[in-house]
Amino acid sequence: MTDSIQTSDVPVPGQDSVPGDLMSKFDGLIAERQALLDSGVRDPFAIVMDEVKSPTEAVIKGKDTILLGTYNYMGMTFDPDVIQAGKDALDQFGSGTNGSRMLNGTFRDHMEVEEALREFYGTTGAIVFSTGYMANLGMISTLAGKGDYIILDADSHASIYDGCKQGYAEIVRFRHNSVEDLDKRLGRLPPEAGKLVVLEGVYSMLGDIAPLDQMVAVAKKHGAMVLSDEAHSMGFFGPNGRGVYEAQGVEGDVDFIVGTFSKSVGTVGGFCVSNHPKFEAIRLACRPYIFTASLPPSVVATAATSIRKLMHAHNKRAHLWENARQLHGGLKAMGFKLGTENPDSAIIAVILDDQEQAVMMWQGLLEAGLYVNMARPPATPAGTFLLRCSLCAEHTTEQMIRVTEMFRAVGKAVGVIA
């Protein structure tokens, strides 16, 4: 979460803090982490992949491990065409651009990847940023200026909150996924003020999806523009894989789509696409676009190739959804408490009672040869501790069976399920 009425869960200095030491504010965090490590568990936030064998397998501390906690939804990272495009770009354009997109940092493949995005999304405009985080930071802080309002979901990603903080607009938040709460808050704002409603297709902690069709209709009723972050849906929601907004049929009413190359595309970078006739002006005004180096040529070349392949990845898409249904159904049948009633997305969150249970479960799975994400407050909603599984189109049915059995064995050992 972020700035609000002053709360008690901000970092506090410890007893032995030295006056004037700015690092003292982290004493509480340091102590909490030490207490966790002293309990004998491995540090969940210090995992090193020594070897990566495929989109779904790595070696961690000498052990072959199935990866079920990456955002490699479409398994594009080892695609031979994608890798070749990157190698060719390295050979032809070198290792980096040494400059901003605005000055010397726009090469052939930056233009090529923006063209690929326009084709993928069917839009007239596409702007590439150096990360997905910076795409949200840049778009939100640049679109909404002084006197404008940003209306955001309470469970929004940190990059959305930070985009709000970076700018000068008034910030209003509504209860997660509540159409009624959004409607009420929009209704209380000055009718003439500029308004940007920021939504996400898939919320990444619990894997739940937004009722975008209803929310976008409410936003339009109040004269607001809409930005939807489709980071966790690209490639496998909607007829063309554009995202939840496409799947729910509101393509015509979403003004800006933000996305990332670090998930389904399989590299790093962020972007925004739009049909707004003045969209290109963002390049002239957006600080996170201007004041940073552009992506290396090999990265944009791999992204362009991957995006074009994702347009036709119908079999992968179908297999990803099969995997989601298989894992969700298996875990639910065993008695695990899950973040969503149905397999709504490629993220399946297992909700646990507390930090200790979450860490025990996480470590047990890792020792058995399975990596999942552990997530804790403040990243999670409502103070929950959870293990987040994200599926890949390259997970085999056999791997999914092994994953399910590991959850059964460890869940029983830790006492999460009977």
Partner 1 sequence: MSDRAAITETVTGLIQPFNKKGVTLTDATTFAGDLEWDSLTVMDFVAAIEDEFDIIITMNMQAEIENIGQLIDAVEKLKG
Q: Which is nearer to partner 1, 378 or 415 (CB)?
A: 378
Q: Which is nearer to partner 1, 10 or 418 (CB)?
A: 10
Total site size for partner 1, rule CB under 8 A: 27
Q: What secondary structure, in 3-state letters, does 224-278 show?
A: CEEEEECCCCCCCCCCCCCCHHHHCCCCCCCCEEEEECCCCCCCCCEEEEECCCC
- Helix then strand then coil, in percent of the chain rounded to 5, is 40, 15, 40
Conformation bin of residue 114: beta by default, left when phi > 0, alpha when psi is -120 to 50: alpha
Active site annotation includes 314: no
Stretch that binds partner 1, among 8-16, 80-88, 274-282, 289-297 (CB under 8 A): 8-16
Active site annotation includes 204: yes
Contacting residues for 330 by C-beta, under 8 A, at least 6 apart: 400, 404, 407
Interaction of residue 217 with partner 1, rule CB under 8 A:
no
Q: Which is nearer to partner 1, 24 or 275 (CB)?
A: 24
Q: In one letter, which amino acid is 129? A: F
Could you tell me the smallest distance in angstroms from the CB atom of residue 8 to partner 1?
5
Q: Which is nearer to partner 1, 1 or 417 (CB)?
A: 1
- Catalytic site residue from 157, 195, 232, 328: 232
Residue 144 contacts residue 169 (beta carbons within 8 Å):
yes
Interaction of residue 2 with partner 1, rule CB under 8 A:
yes
- Catalytic site residue from 157, 195, 263, 328: 263
- Binding partner 1 (rule: CB under 8 A), the pick from 27, 162, 170, 183 is 170
Binding mask 380-409 for partner 1 (x = CB under 8 A): --xx--------------------------
- Binding partner 1 (rule: CB under 8 A), the pick from 53, 61, 184, 312 is 184
Active site annotation includes 110: no
Residue 396, number of CB atoms within 10 A of its CB: 13
For residues 16, 33, 46, 371, the Cα torsion angle rounded to the nearest 10 degrees is 180
Could you tell me the smallest distance in angstroms from the CB atom of residue 154 to partner 1?
6
What distance in Å separates the CA atoms of residue 285 and residue 341, rounded to the nearest whole number?
Answer: 43
What distance in Å separates the CA atoms of residue 97 and residue 83, rounded to the nearest whole number?
Answer: 19
* Contacts (CB under 8 A) with partner 1, residues 365-384: 378, 382-383
CA-nearest of 239, 205, 262, 258 to 74 is 262
Q: Which is nearer to partner 1, 175 or 325 (CB)?
A: 175
Q: Which is nearer to partner 1, 149 or 236 (CB)?
A: 149
What distance in Å separates the CA atoms of residue 385 and residue 376, rounded to the nearest whole number?
Answer: 5
Interaction of residue 36 with partner 1, rule CB under 8 A:
no
Q: DSSP letter at 111? A: H
Applying CB under 8 A, the residues found at the interface with partner 1 are 1-10, 149, 154, 164, 170-175, 181, 184-185, 188-189, 378, 382-383
- Give the active site residues: 204, 232, 263
